[in-house]
A and B are shown apart, each in its own frame.
Chain A
Amino acid sequence: RKEVEQDPGPFNVPEGATVAFNCTYSNSASQSFFWYRQDCRKEPKLLMSVYSSGNEDGRFTAQLNRASQYISLLIRDSKLSDSATYLCVVNISRGLTGGGNKLTFGTGTQLKVEL
């Protein structure tokens, strides 16, 4: 079983739709949680960190449920420019002299926003 699991998609949605991505992680010692965005043939870029209290950044809302080991990302009013792969990422901090801030990625969920 992979440490971080995501539905690979693709999710094909019309412009303006609301779309939700889910992710589960297996290691209960995970401490930090993120969503990264990766455009085709580009490097991953941090979209947002995820907190138990939930956090919002414009049209994007992320939520963490530690009890269920579940992470979500909601995109409202989707734009053509939101088309990308969304990577769910967790970190088990091992301290600077251990493994540092090693990230564990899911396989990514592909989103295609269409006219």
Chain B
Amino acid sequence: GAGVSQSPRYKVAKRGQDVALRCDPISGHVSLFWYQQALGQGPEFLTYFQNEAQLDKSGLPSDRFFAERPEGSVSTLKIQRTQQEDSAVYLCASTYSGRNQETQYFGPGTRLLVL
């Protein structure tokens, strides 16, 4: 596809359930970012990959959040034992190389609702 894709688009989880969110970046893009956007807020950085290496995970809110990109393309964000405060839109973005001023292309997001 031409853009960043994410799946599922919507996810409803019961509190305590584990969820996995997938991101397919633009083909050939080496940098991949995850952001979390709560209702009425701007996106907030979660983690960053350069190829398969996770170089920054300073934004992950707790050790229940885990991200991986084992082959340097598709990435998965996993949330264990979901809590209501995890309800948000999870956005994935990619750039060709990650250099300064490069445009980040965002996927449509996964809207997670934890009941």
Contact = CB atoms under 8 A, between A and B. Distances in A.
Interface of A: 4, 8, 31-32, 42-46, 49, 87, 89, 91, 93-94, 96-108
B50 interface: yes
Given A102-B45, A103-B45, A107-B41, 18 more contacts: A4-B42, A32-B101, A43-B91, A44-B106, A46-B104, A89-B42, A93-B100, A96-B97, A96-B98, A97-B50, A99-B48, A99-B58, A100-B31, A100-B50, A101-B101, A103-B33, A107-B40, A108-B42
Interface in B75-93: 91
Q: Which 10 A-B pairs have the closest CB atoms?
A: A105-B42, A43-B106, A93-B100, A100-B98, A99-B56, A100-B48, A105-B43, A107-B42, A102-B45, A46-B103
B38 to A, nearest CB: 10
